[in-house]
Structure 1
Amino acid sequence: MESIFTHFIFSIFLGFFLQLILHEIGHLIFGLLTGWDFLIFQLNRFALLHLKNKNRLAVVRSKNYQCIMSPKSINSNPMLYTIGGCIVNLFSAVTGFLIILINRMTPSLWLYIWSFTVFGIGFYVMNGTFRINRICNDKACYDLLKYNPYTRLCHNAQLIIAKYLANGFTYRQIGKELICICPDTAGNDIEAYQDILEYYYYLDMNQFNMAEQALNKINTTASFSREITDTLQMEQIYIKLLQRLISNDKNEIDFPYFDVRKHTKKGDVHALRVITVTKAYAKFKEGDLNSVWEIIDKAISEIERSFCVYEGEKLFCIGQLKNLKSIIEDKID
């Protein structure tokens, strides 16, 4: 009895992680089959990266489960790459079910195959049913890409941008032509993220009014995932505090309290950048300049020591914090 219970526990863990890995492998397989370039395969904090024509294993700062690939062109078809994980989960679940039906086996082996099959079905349902509550899942992305050519253009642009960021380019270096392609109000997650990238581009160019306008293109009445709404709120705080530092405004912020730390992934350098400016602004209002420099320098040092999947994001955030120091120094002078 104890042995069966032990096998039951292990079978659950093994079935879950095998299907998780197979899901990401599905994206990889169907991306390669349709001519896309492999870029990142990440499981938790362990990542295999293809940078500058070389593969590299690394332990990275942020936790994630993802397979990122880059299209040959902005007009490439992303459909099979997007839904590939669901296809592999479904195929593996059907295979497991047939093995259970056809073969006689020991109770312990039956448990492992049963768990593998159940989690295959679970992953297929979880990612193959339209959902945009926490994140925009595979089926939601698939439907948005299928029915909206403009959304498909943004999606492919973002994966090309990802390749540049992974190779150490910042948004300024990537350029306006690839990033600033969203002239209208964003109506879904993919379009909204394109506006966020445009916002980063203008921040990198020190064009703060244009950066704020990019955020304002995100339709706040539309239905977005929590990932997008959290990022939007976080960056609204950042640009507002940055503008107040520039104008030497020490009044209280006039929008609802938002705890950045509760709404971002651990290890996110953008979140650390925003948390740093909120702390620095609070000390700046108090006139405690020594603490301001200490807070900013500590954050810069933490980011510099980190290995990030997207080196360009790391360099961008360091540049923003150094720029923050310059803005405060100008106000003192």
Structure 2
Amino acid sequence: MAENPVKIEKKKKKKGLSYLWIFLIGVPIGVILAVLDVDMGFLDVYSLSDFVAIFILFYVGVFLTINLHELGHLLFGKLLGYQFLMFRAGIFSIQKENGKLRFSIIKNVGYGGLCAMIPDEDATMKEYAVYSLGGIIMNLLTGGLFLYLSAFMEPGSIWKMAAILTGGASILLGIVNGFPFFSMNQPTDGMMFFSILRNSPMAERFYESSLLTKKLSSGIRPRDLDLLKDFENIGDMHDLTKAFYLYFQEMDKGNRDSAEEYLLDVEKNLHKVPPYSLPAYYYELLFFALLSGNLEKAKVYHEKAGKILMKDQDINGLRVKAYYAYIMEKDAEKARTLAQKGLAMRDHYPFKGQALYEEELLKELLQKIETERQGQ
């Protein structure tokens, strides 16, 4: 079977980005060493085992700097009064679920770290610009701290070299993230910051997604969102996110034909979705496939959602699992249990407006189960 052209293109882009990163990091280091005429003889004190140890420590240090970047966003978000949703460091995840913080281990799907927060009701774009700077500032500060501490370490020790490399990587990460470009179809922190300062339409478009999330968290149902399709074709992550919200809006209004059109557009552009956001899209593709009777497609997306769906105890995950149990597994009792559990979790879901829509779907399912039971 021929490989999907979209996947082939994605692999080429990833390979190209890998070479680009090597170029961006390697060339400046080489130029600096040449200009400063640095004597590399100091490396002679290290044995092969020392280099292996330094590499391992540096790898750990890079992982640390990535997540210190996300911690910077978290701290700035808390100072601004943003609502916490999720913090991920590699395979480790802390998220707010059913009103409580839950720790879990998940599959890493292409990111080193992730921080997700919702602006408060009175948040402004300028505050969001400050939030965007949080990760950069944290990287520059911690990078400087690593370099400062390295000055007090024993010369020639593996810890000193690892601290120097980690400090340099942290500062480099902060600087690179400050440049305006797109990464995984999302603007970098620097792009968001400078776009907001310039009152750029791009910043307004991407900030709109945050505002929609804020409205859902404040209790506005998807059907009551002020949404209009302002794009012909899905061009970037903003358009994709908006199409996804439009799907929810049409579903909440009972317009499933219109909802399907938006969802099909979303499905065609899944390659533009950052890996960490994919499960939410899989949920809805799975759910709609169940409603449409496309059970083969439902199986595909159930497998893609995988363990994340299995462990999900929020109302949206329980809704998808309840319908899967009822339609795919033909297990009405299991579906009833999952639906009732979902309803019990309604008030703990951070997106209160979406929870009302989820509640309605679960009640519809329970009514079907009850009608079926009485007809037997």
Instruction: Identify the TM-score tier after normalising by the shorter chain.
Output: 0.5 to 0.7
Question: Mean Cα displacement is larger for which, 84-93 or 138-147?
Answer: 138-147
Contact 1:304–1:318, Cα closer than 8 Å, also in 2: no
Which one of 249, 257, 270 corresponds to residue 201 of structure 1?
249
User: 1:75-90 alignment to 2 at 5 Å?
Assistant: 76-77=125-126, 78-90=128-140
1:242, distance to aligned residue in structure 2 (A) = 1.8
Q: 1:15 to 1:298 in 2, by over 3 A?
A: same
Q: 2:279 and 2:70 mapped to 1: Cα distance?
A: 25
CA deviations 1:268-318 (Å, max 9, x no partner) are 44444334323321244xxxxxx2232242354167369966252555434
What amino acid is the match of 1:38?
A: Y
Q: Could you list the runs of 5+ residues in structure 1 that have no partner in the other structure?
A: 50-56, 245-251, 285-290
Alignment match, 1:182: 229
Q: 1:273 to 1:58 in 2, by over 3 A?
A: closer
Contact 2:250–2:259, Cα closer than 8 Å, also in 1: yes
> Is 1:321 matched with 2:345?
no
Q: Secondary structure at the match of 1:105?
A: coil
User: 1:271-286 alignment to 2 at 5 Å?
Assistant: 271-284=317-330
User: 1:149-298 alignment to 2 at 5 Å?
Assistant: 152-166=203-217, 169=219, 171-172=221-222, 175-177=224-226, 180-184=227-231, 185-218=233-266, 220=268, 224-227=272-275, 231-244=280-293, 253=295, 255=297, 257-263=299-305, 266=308, 267-268=311-312, 269=314, 270-284=316-330, 291-298=331-338
Which one of 69, 80, 94 corresponds to residue 23 of structure 1?
69
Report the structure number with the largest CA radius of gyration: 2
1:93, distance to aligned residue in structure 2 (A) = 1.8
CA deviations 1:211-240 (Å, max 9, x no partner) are 223324548258502546654454233223
Query: What value does the CA root-mean-square deviation take over the aligned residues?
Result: 4.9
Which one of 142, 146, 154 corresponds to residue 96 of structure 1?
146
Q: 1:61 to 1:311 in 2, by over 3 A?
A: farther
CA deviations 1:80-104 (Å, max 9, x no partner) are 433531343144324433553xx33
Which one of 92, 102, 108 corresponds to residue 60 of structure 1?
102
1:323, distance to aligned residue in structure 2 (A) = 2.0
CA deviations 1:9-63 (Å, max 9, x no partner) are 9967984675355323432566689xx54221644554689xxxxxxx9423777
Q: 1:104 to 1:236 in 2, by over 3 A?
A: closer
Contact 1:234–1:258, Cα closer than 8 Å, also in 2: no
Q: 1:307 to 1:74 in 2, by over 3 A?
A: closer
1:206, distance to aligned residue in structure 2 (A) = 3.3
Q: TM-score, normalised by structure 1?
A: 0.64
Q: 2:282 and 2:73 mapped to 1: Cα distance?
A: 30
Q: 2:195 and 2:234 mapped to 1: Cα distance?
A: 14
Alignment match, 1:54: none
Q: Secondary structure at the match of 2:254?
A: coil
> Is 1:70 matched with 2:122?
no
Contact 2:76–2:130, Cα closer than 8 Å, also in 1: yes
Bigger RCO (CA 8 Å, 6+ sep) = 1
- Percent identity over the alignment? 16
Q: TM-score, normalised by structure 2?
A: 0.58
Q: 1:153 and 1:59 mapped to 2: Cα distance?
A: 31
CA deviations 1:180-219 (Å, max 9, x no partner) are 2433233212221222122223333333233223324548
Q: 1:20 to 1:314 in 2, by over 3 A?
A: farther
Q: Could you list the runs of 5+ residues in structure 2 that have no partner in the other structure?
A: 1-49, 106-112
Q: 2:171 and 2:199 mapped to 1: Cα distance?
A: 29
> Is 1:38 matched with 2:86?
no
What amino acid is the match of 1:326?
A: Q
Q: Secondary structure at the match of 2:291?
A: helix
Contact 2:54–2:162, Cα closer than 8 Å, also in 1: yes
